Chains A and B, each alone.
Chain A
Amino acid sequence: MPSPIRILTAVPICDGHDSAINTINLEFIRHGIEVVYLGYHRSVTDIVRAAIQEDVRAVGISSYNGGHIEFFSEVTGLLQKRGASDIKVFGGGGGTITQQDAAAMKRKGVDNIFFAGTSLAEMTDYVRTQYGKPRNKRPRPRSPEQELAHKLSEIEDAYASVSRKRPTASAQRSRSNKTVRHSSVAIRHSSRAERARVMGFTGPGGAGKTTLIDELVLRFLNQNSRGRIAILSHDPSVVGEGALLGDRATMINSQNDRVFMRSMATRGQAGGLSPATQDCLALLARSGFDYVIIETVGTGQEAMPFQKNGVVDQTVLVMNPDYGSRLQLQKIVMLDLADIVVVNKSDLQRARTAHTEIEQRLEQNGRDQRLIDTVAKRHRDAGVDQLFKLISTGR
């Protein structure tokens, strides 16, 4: 079974019209497509960088604010310049893009433009037939980044090809432990000095993991003028096998040439990660980054996504102050395992109670676990500063 089709969607810079693309994204994922959504007001550079890192089959651009001929051409031009002309470009803009415009855009390398009145089914069919075929022989990667992106795709594809039918989570976990193996086995034993420090972030959905990571990335970039960081971010596959990989849309600081980000769908595996995660992570860890951050999907109480003795060096559990009764804390397995526990949204009324209760819960463990309160949405939040310091210096 081939991997699901992966595409990237975005709205151009200076354009906030996201209502059409929101509807279209949902339709795509309902039909088994994995959509990396980059959000609105996105520059050509951001789109092309994301498309290459995510190694998508195509980029869909929804433009309603004019200037589309230039914008689309710049995207195709930059993709070509970066040696990624196998990534196709399509899009639409309701009535704002005329037939004449579309013809001009096609001459510049755009695959297809959908006009006003095109049904959602037509668009979905188009994407499935045009971008669902197996890839032709791939052009030689033009950059290490592109090479890395291609390799990650190979790992994901290899796992997809062995999962003929959807197995139960436990069966799958055991299989993924013994079947598909790549060069990554060797990586585990590579010396720690060359290896990136790997940080695992997990926690319930809506706790603010993505925002927190983005804020940490900002601090990292400001502090290390040449440092590089990789993010492996997960979102759940839905029934029908599509997935909305939307973390990039809110990550304003991580759209940067020194950040390599890859979004992965869980593809039927429970527990917060994808069958291919371990291998992808191992590959990223030896690819010259200072840090690799891995973010799980929003997890439940029983989740323990990071393998013992795995490649993750330090684990962070991000909690929301609204976890329910105190008793609920006893059931959260990660509270036993995490090295750092973060209570995000600590501006909420309940945050103080949460801090006290979690602190007490951690004391039971008798380990040296750290508890930090943050308000990740706040610019220059002192709690995030403290977390960054703890991660980067161990203090």
Chain B
Amino acid sequence: MTGTVGGIMSKLGQVVEAIEKYNKFVLDQVKRARSDEQFGRELLGRWNDTKAKIPITRTPTGVPLPRLALPEIDEPGEIARYLFGEGLPGEFPFLNGAYREMYLEPIREVESFEKNGETVAARMAPVKSSNARPPLPQAEEPTRLFSGLMLAEDTNERFHYLTQHQRTHRLSTAFDGPTLYGIDSDADGVFGKIGEGGVAIDTVEDMMRLYDGFDLGSPNFSASMTISGPAPIIMAMYIAAAKRRFGPKVVPKLRGTVQADIFKEVQAQNETIFPIEASLRFLTDMVEFTTREMRRWYPISISGYHIGEAGSTPVQQAAYTLSNGFAYAEMFAARGIPVDQFGPRLSFFLDCGLDAEYIALARVSRRIWAIGMRDVFGAGPRAQLFKLHTQTSGRSLIAAEFKNNLTRTAAELVLAYMNATNSCHSNSADEPFTTPSEEWIRLAAHGQAILLEESGIFKHTMNMLSGSPGMKAVERAVEAAILDEFREIARLGGVLAAVEDRYQRSQIQSAAHRYEQQIYNGTRPIIGLNRYRDDEDDAPEVKLVRTPRQKQQLQVDRLAKFKKKNAEKAKRALDRLADVVERGANCFTVLLEAAEVCSLGQITGRLQEVVGRFRPMV
């Protein structure tokens, strides 16, 4: 039974209290460590023990480095502050990382272990290494490249190109405008938009073409679909396509994520097709299904990226993303889904730009999420993790002297890795003009490889760049500012009430306006635009990726054929769908049936008849 979603989403105040309480707890532990001798000794013992277990490996140039760098402290109070306030990587409250080793290359040979500043001989047997090829890390590559262009078969080709040298196939899919708005390629006035800015998907058959040649049930495959308004429908099409290709047994094996973040659409990105409450209900229906039937799927990607791109400040981005996340958690829990089932299936997506806050934005977010989930929602360790995908800032890239964008993206990547993001997308320098072309995509991808694989910044030592006084100062300021935002949203009655009140939207728009003003008046330097401008710089010569008319026509023709073939079945499926939605039951199973025979636009249209359309907020 689906309850209404109104009247809930008011736990944000409790989250604020939980963070304050936890911060006080940390201070208490610091004091206790200094006054309670036994407690102090215990902490010191634990600290020394931890340090003793840190393996040391040699860099290719022969320098021995610990796999984990810790602050040079030996006073129990400071040790308490570190262990409770930050946590070791992979330990609560996860300031330094969700996992212990993140991007470290696998241990080939342990040199020694660190102990009290001295080193002792290695006790661990060296791992055999082959001369031919260095062993690859067991974890997946953090690189996840966003792609989507023209028709399904074109994007499919791009996917194969992008993953040709990768062990793991992590595909990230961009959809074209009509798909994002849940309408068909034959709708009024969308012809020119077919396949622009992303791939055109109208039917389950398109979905089959899109991932053709990839083994959807393989543990090395995962699909990410960046779509929110019609997310449950697209998700249903993905499942339907997988079943057609691999049979029904593939469903529990499917790995990947669909964005499905309605709040940020209303707050920032404007791709909302149903009224908010109806959208949230369809989302919860889907989450209920996937947490039960698809244990390896991430049914929502709580996204600050678009909030950031719409012009928010970094603090607003983190605050709205986290509060949206807590609101979803509250909603799913209210539906009766156990927090330890849905919690580990939530993931986050943040923007990383060049402002100072980005030095620690994701670190602070990870900590707030963990404390809130543990102390307010009673989540176990796996449901406390803020699993993060980061994308470098598209807004920071500009058309003038566009090759400078390579440097911008590189700096943002360093910041993203300093925040120990779990995966990352680096933007192509040609993005201000066009869907990225292969040449610039390759450079963007290699930017990540250069930082992670070629440079020694991230592969030898965890915490290589963490914990500087400046970073600590940013952490304190950012956390305080995020909590202030939480308090305001709580005062307005929670996330949903604040959204309906346009609170986040207005804040974002005003920040965006300020940003533009700063560029105009020069207080925000943009090299090549308002500083060191080269007036000779002509329009850049980039190869534009545009969808040819014949392809757009092909898509329309294929859709017509599909609709004709399934006309009878579609009608029945839509009637059943409307009936279930009307009754208020979970509609995802009937949506799965409808996705077999109906187009995206047919389903959207029918649902809108029942629940209404989204009324834009201006």
With contact pairs A23-B513, A44-B189 given, residues A67 and B177 touching in the complex (Cβ less than 8 Å): yes
Question: Are A43 and B529 interface neighbours, CB within 8 A?
Answer: no
CB contacts under 8 Å to A, within B161-183, are 176-178, 180-181, 183
Is residue A41 contacting chain B, with contact meaning CB distance below 8 A? yes
Is residue A37 contacting chain B, with contact meaning CB distance below 8 A? yes
Question: Are B177 and A13 interface neighbours, CB within 8 A?
Answer: yes
Question: Are A66 and B612 interface neighbours, CB within 8 A?
Answer: no
Which residues of chain B are within 8 angstroms of A23 by Cβ–Cβ distance?
A: 513, 516
7 pairs of A and B residues whose beta carbons are closest in the complex: A70-B192, A14-B177, A16-B270, A379-B612, A66-B196, A67-B192, A67-B193
Task: Tell me the minimal C-beta distance from B266 to chain A in angstroms.
Answer: 11
Q: How far is B310's CA from A39's CA once the two chains are assembled, in angstroms?
A: 16
Q: How far is B432's CA from A39's CA once the two chains are assembled, in angstroms?
A: 23
Q: How far is B400's CA from A7's CA once the two chains are assembled, in angstroms?
A: 30
- Contact partner of A19 among B196, B433, B512, CB < 8 A? B512
Q: Which residues does B use to contact A, with CB under 8 Å?
A: 6, 176-178, 180-181, 183, 187-194, 196-197, 269-271, 275, 278, 310-311, 398-400, 432-435, 500, 509, 512-513, 516, 520, 529, 539, 544, 546, 611-618
Q: How far is B432's CA from A246's CA once the two chains are assembled, in angstroms?
A: 30
Q: How far is B1's CA from A100's CA once the two chains are assembled, in angstroms?
A: 56
Question: Are A65 and B611 interface neighbours, CB within 8 A?
Answer: no
Known contacts A13-B190, A94-B399, A246-B618; 16 additional CB pairs below 8 A are A13-B181, A13-B188, A13-B193, A14-B177, A39-B618, A44-B188, A44-B189, A45-B189, A67-B191, A70-B192, A74-B189, A96-B433, A117-B399, A250-B617, A250-B618, A377-B275
Question: Are A65 and B432 interface neighbours, CB within 8 A?
Answer: no
Q: From DSSP, what is the main secondary structure of chain B's interface residues?
A: loop
CB contacts under 8 Å to B, within A5-37, are 12-19, 22-23, 37
Which residues of chain A are within 8 angstroms of B399 by Cβ–Cβ distance?
A: 94-95, 116-117
Is residue A1 contacting chain B, with contact meaning CB distance below 8 A? no
Question: Are A16 and B192 interface neighbours, CB within 8 A?
Answer: no
Which residues of chain B are within 8 angstroms of A18 by Cβ–Cβ distance?
A: 270, 618
Task: Tell me the minimal C-beta distance from B406 to chain A in angstroms.
Answer: 16
Q: Which residues does A use to contact B, with CB under 8 Å?
A: 12-19, 22-23, 37, 39-41, 43-45, 65-71, 74, 94-96, 98-99, 116-117, 119, 211, 214, 246, 249-250, 252, 347, 377-380
Question: Are A380 and B193 interface neighbours, CB within 8 A?
Answer: no
Q: How far is B183's CA from A22's CA once the two chains are assembled, in angstroms?
A: 25
- Contact partner of A40 among B270, B434, B615, CB < 8 A? B270
Which residues of chain B are within 8 angstroms of A19 by Cβ–Cβ distance?
A: 310-311, 509, 512
Beta-carbon nearest neighbor of A22 in chain B = B509
Question: Are A65 and B509 interface neighbours, CB within 8 A?
Answer: no
20 contacts between A and B (CB under 8 A): A13-B193, A14-B177, A14-B190, A16-B269, A43-B189, A44-B189, A45-B188, A65-B193, A66-B197, A66-B546, A67-B177, A67-B194, A68-B192, A70-B191, A74-B192, A95-B399, A98-B544, A117-B529, A377-B500, A379-B275
Beta-carbon nearest neighbor of B397 in chain A = A95
Q: How far is B529's CA from A354's CA once the two chains are assembled, in angstroms?
A: 55
Q: How far is B189's CA from A27's CA once the two chains are assembled, in angstroms?
A: 29
Beta-carbon nearest neighbor of A73 in chain B = B192
Question: Are A249 and B516 interface neighbours, CB within 8 A?
Answer: no
Q: How far is B190's CA from A45's CA once the two chains are assembled, in angstroms?
A: 11
Question: Are B188 and A43 interface neighbours, CB within 8 A?
Answer: yes
With contact pairs A16-B271, A250-B615, A250-B618 given, residues A41 and B433 touching in the complex (Cβ less than 8 Å): no
Q: How far is B397's CA from A94's CA once the two chains are assembled, in angstroms?
A: 12
Which residues of chain A are within 8 angstroms of B271 by Cβ–Cβ distance?
A: 16
Beta-carbon nearest neighbor of B197 in chain A = A66
Q: From DSSP, what is the main secondary structure of chain A's interface residues?
A: loop
Beta-carbon nearest neighbor of A379 in chain B = B612
Beta-carbon nearest neighbor of A17 in chain B = B270
- Contact partner of B189 among A16, A22, A71, A214, CB < 8 A? A71
Which residues of chain A are within 8 angstroms of B180 by Cβ–Cβ distance?
A: 14
Question: Are A65 and B197 interface neighbours, CB within 8 A?
Answer: yes
Q: How far is B512's CA from A95's CA once the two chains are assembled, in angstroms?
A: 18
Beta-carbon nearest neighbor of A48 in chain B = B189
Question: Are B177 and A66 interface neighbours, CB within 8 A?
Answer: yes
Q: How far is B402's CA from A98's CA once the two chains are assembled, in angstroms?
A: 14
Q: How far is B273's CA from A40's CA once the two chains are assembled, in angstroms?
A: 12
Q: How far is B188's CA from A214's CA once the two chains are assembled, in angstroms?
A: 22
Which residues of chain A are within 8 angstroms of B509 by Cβ–Cβ distance?
A: 19, 22
Beta-carbon nearest neighbor of A68 in chain B = B192
Beta-carbon nearest neighbor of B229 in chain A = A16
Q: How far is B183's CA from A51's CA once the two chains are assembled, in angstroms?
A: 24
Question: Are A95 and B432 interface neighbours, CB within 8 A?
Answer: yes
Question: Are A40 and B189 interface neighbours, CB within 8 A?
Answer: no
Q: How far is B311's CA from A19's CA once the two chains are assembled, in angstroms?
A: 9
Which residues of chain B are within 8 angstroms of A378 by Cβ–Cβ distance?
A: 275
Question: Are B433 and A95 interface neighbours, CB within 8 A?
Answer: yes
From A16, A96, A214, A249, residue with most partner B Cβ within 10 Å: A16
Question: Are A252 and B616 interface neighbours, CB within 8 A?
Answer: yes
Which residues of chain A are within 8 angstroms of B612 by Cβ–Cβ distance?
A: 379-380
Which residues of chain B are within 8 angstroms of A16 by Cβ–Cβ distance?
A: 269-271
With contact pairs A19-B509, A23-B513 given, residues A117 and B192 touching in the complex (Cβ less than 8 Å): no
Which residues of chain A are within 8 angstroms of B435 by Cβ–Cβ distance?
A: 66
Question: Are B190 and A250 interface neighbours, CB within 8 A?
Answer: no
Q: How far is B194's CA from A328's CA once the two chains are assembled, in angstroms?
A: 55
Which residues of chain B are within 8 angstroms of A39 by Cβ–Cβ distance?
A: 616, 618
Q: How far is B274's CA from A379's CA once the two chains are assembled, in angstroms?
A: 10
Q: How far is B189's CA from A379's CA once the two chains are assembled, in angstroms?
A: 26
Question: Are A249 and B190 interface neighbours, CB within 8 A?
Answer: no
Which residues of chain B are within 8 angstroms of A347 by Cβ–Cβ distance?
A: 6
Which residues of chain A are within 8 angstroms of B181 by Cβ–Cβ distance?
A: 13-14, 41
With contact pairs A16-B269, A95-B433, A380-B612 given, residues A37 and B196 touching in the complex (Cβ less than 8 Å): no
With contact pairs A65-B196, A379-B275 given, residues A13 and B189 touching in the complex (Cβ less than 8 Å): yes
Task: Tell me the minimal C-beta distance from A295 to chain B in angstroms.
Answer: 16
Question: Are A94 and B196 interface neighbours, CB within 8 A?
Answer: no
Task: Tell me the minimal C-beta distance from A164 to chain B in angstroms.
Answer: 34
Which residues of chain B are within 8 angstroms of A67 by Cβ–Cβ distance?
A: 177, 190-194, 196
Question: Are B432 and A14 interface neighbours, CB within 8 A?
Answer: no
Which residues of chain A are within 8 angstroms of B615 by Cβ–Cβ distance?
A: 211, 214, 250, 252, 377
Question: Are A66 and B193 interface neighbours, CB within 8 A?
Answer: yes
Q: How far is B512's CA from A13's CA once the two chains are assembled, in angstroms?
A: 23
Q: How far is B505's CA from A343's CA once the two chains are assembled, in angstroms?
A: 26
Beta-carbon nearest neighbor of A16 in chain B = B270
Beta-carbon nearest neighbor of B611 in chain A = A379
Task: Tell me the minimal C-beta distance from A233 to chain B in angstroms.
Answer: 14
With contact pairs A14-B180, A94-B432 given, residues A249 and B196 touching in the complex (Cβ less than 8 Å): no
Q: How far is B273's CA from A16's CA once the two chains are assembled, in angstroms?
A: 11
Q: How far is B516's CA from A150's CA once the two chains are assembled, in angstroms?
A: 38
From B176, B270, B435, B546, residue with most partner A Cβ within 10 Å: B270
- Contact partner of B178 among A14, A17, A94, CB < 8 A? A14
Beta-carbon nearest neighbor of A71 in chain B = B192
Question: Are B192 and A69 interface neighbours, CB within 8 A?
Answer: yes
Q: How far is B499's CA from A377's CA once the two chains are assembled, in angstroms?
A: 14
Question: Are A250 and B192 interface neighbours, CB within 8 A?
Answer: no
- Contact partner of B177 among A15, A214, A377, A380, CB < 8 A? A15
Task: Tell me the minimal C-beta distance from B280 to chain A in angstroms.
Answer: 14
Which residues of chain A are within 8 angstroms of B520 by Cβ–Cβ distance?
A: 119
